[in-house]
Amino acid sequence: MDHGKKFEKTRIKDKTGGCADDLCDTQLILKREIKDFTKEWFITLRGEVHDSIDYHYLISTNGGKIWKRSPFPTITIKTLNQGGIYIGFRKKSNKIFYSFDEGKTYYLLNFPDENMLIRGSEIIGTAEKERLVVYGWSSDRSTMMIMHIDFTNVLRTITF
């Protein structure tokens, strides 16, 4: 390994289709976000299979030496606390997943109102003082909802 200085062709064996003779039509989507003064080399990439609506995020906590696949398909992954907290959103079912241990254990946080749809999220603050703001609206778009999540005390400090 040369730590990303050179890339080689990779074969992906896909038993579910989308590949011919173990060769897949793959696409690397690089969304660039650089945060200064981070402690960890945290990288996420979104992996898609063409002719499919499914995708997975690939996660590396050591600058790309080892990659893990997100256990949940079609969710968006974000990080807080300089990579110490992983957060995943499944917008279709209004589920928020989070992990404090590099994705070994995930916890579930339900969106407070079943009739509200998650539309997006923003990270506010810096370093250990980062917080998550999740926003959405009702299915008829008549009501907007904003939820602030403080992961320093996630079980008691969820405000609506």
pLDDT at 13 exceeding the cut of 70 = no
pLDDT digits (tens, 9 = 90+) for 65-118: 777 777 776 677 777 777 778 888 777 777 888 888 877 888 887 776 677 788
Look at the block and give the residue holding tokens 């957060």. Answer: 87
| This prediction's pTM | 0.60
Q: What is the residue extent of each domain of the chain? A: 1-70
d(CA 48, CA 75): 12
d(CA 148, CA 54): 29
d(CA 85, CA 80): 5
User: Dihedral of the CA atoms 57, 71, 134, 136 (nearest 10)?
Assistant: 90
d(CA 47, CA 24): 12
